Amino acid sequence: MKRLFIILPLVLCIMISCRDKQAISELEKLKAQVELEEQNKALVMIFFEEINNRNDQIFKKLCAVDYKWYLPSANPYPMSREEELESIKTIWQGFPDINWTIEEMIAEVDIVTIRFLTTGTHKEEWNGIPASGIKFETGGIGIIHIENGKIVEIREDVDLLGMMQQLGMELQMKDTGK
């Protein structure tokens, strides 16, 4: 019986010690995840700050070589890093004061989701639309996938119809010949 009184506390101490190690391990994993999420959020902030500063080198610096950009309301096919860069250059030209403001940001491991506001003034021709001098404001959502410190994919949607209407465009029925 005396052995039981000696062994039982020893077993309990070992069990508590193991539990503490498991809890510490889980806390370490959680801490690493939070640190990664904060790094990813900072990377997204830098990316948009540099786009607002018209830094065309940011795509090569922060986006992976096989990066893809999806904007289904404008194009059913994903764009490569180089194609998005050309697209953004035409936007910078048509709207010299264009600015993206991140309103909300949520990170979960390697995904950062943002809600943003885009503003700009249509001062030059853009996509065949003559300059109107009209200022627009539209919202959007972006889901950004990050791997190894590089943006590999952005899935974005923007209220392009609302933007076009603000620029004075009208939606018309297509003549189907019926």
In a domain, 9, yes or no: no
pLDDT tens across the length of the chain (178 residues):
455 455 556 555 655 666 677 777 777 887 788 889 999 999 999 999 999 999 999 999 999 999 999 999 888 899 999 999 999 999 999 999 999 999 999 999 999 999 999 999 999 999 888 999 999 999 999 999 999 999 999 999 999 999 999 999 888 888 877 6
In a domain, 153, yes or no: yes
Domains in the chain, number: 1
What separation, in Å, do the N-terminal and C-terminal C-alpha atoms of the chain show?
Answer: 97
In a domain, 2, yes or no: no
In a domain, 22, yes or no: no
In a domain, 23, yes or no: no
* Sheet of 75-80, strand order: 75-80, 63-71, 150-158, 135-147, 111-121, 99-108
Q: What is the CATH number of the domain that holds 66?
A: 3.10.450.50
Structural domain including 112 reads 29-166
In a domain, 78, yes or no: yes
In a domain, 160, yes or no: yes
Q: Is the pTM of this model over 0.85?
A: no
